[in-house]
Structure 1
């Protein structure tokens, strides 16, 4: 059996059961990312025939069906997977897919592993299983995590412009402390706290307490924590309070 026959045989093994899976199954060529096979569920979601899908170059395939912004997170994971070249390893990520007939992107959770290697032992085919998040009961939680991730990306530069002292003041203000309370703990005057407050708002481009609190939570200056065993608690400033 030559190499092409081995590749075809591997794809046939997956195709034999993939249409029974409650997920989209895709086989991509590891060398260039081109999609060379997809189960019926995936083809139906994209509104395309397999023969037409196979005509796409890798760039055309990703530009048509996927949000390019996600590649910043996904590509390093896939490349690292190839470098480690481990049979047991699976990488999981979120990605936005353009579903046929829908204007908005549809978030998916996808998991990828190496499926087949060439004669030199290098990854040649990768198998991905992908599930639309809006069909999962945890969709709202996942959407919240994705929103927070996007918030971090969009505001990292602004947050990094804060000095260490300004971050300390931001934390105290987000916890609801007054200028006097904040000043007492940081050994500075209330007037200095107010000056820091103004600078923080200017640097972050915010005006309200809610916006300050959002930054503090997103960048782990404060953390809200709920416990189901001891009752409902809030983790504030390193102390679990009830």
Structure 2
């Protein structure tokens, strides 16, 4: 995408592209293509990995760009524990962030992301700068064993430039870019049914496995076809392979 095209994108279009980048990074980590440290080295902006549960939250990793912005070492940030979230955000914003992270955990929303604007205190001054932050729940792998939540944060100023750099760094898969919105629109039940369909299960077998009626399965299948706009099993399989929905 050329810089002239980027500059004409709306805020919503920039956010959509940012979501796609986050999914691509998650897929690269899960497929053992990159470690979180390697991701942190190539992605512009602040890349973080958090260890999040319903009881506690703590920072596990932050790339050098983020550490330089805050003026702390990685060990100092880790030692803060949950106080990290209150040291750099205005009063009230930390609570909103932690509530959002908890909702992701409760819903096991691996296919979706949580996005928000926040003010962050950087450097030695008491002033705050606006950032656009996007986070995504990760499945545990050897590459992200220290944490389970990937977060990317970028200053609102210059987001168009960011999109161009990330596109080049990750060499985006065009199919995923074209179909990411469809993937994000799927419910947890629809994702389960897609996995069973590409595994060769019939509607009756899916109904038995999920303890729902065959009629309910068929309704879900119709909704899946409408959302994905697929016309054959081959097209459904292509989608499932691209978004890791095969067993």
> What TM-score does the superposition give when structure 2 sets the normalisation length?
0.45
Q: More relative contact order in 1 or in 2 (CA 8 Å, sep 6+)?
A: 2
Higher helix residue share: 2
> What TM-score does the superposition give when structure 1 sets the normalisation length?
0.46
Q: Greater CA radius of gyration, 1 or 2?
A: 1
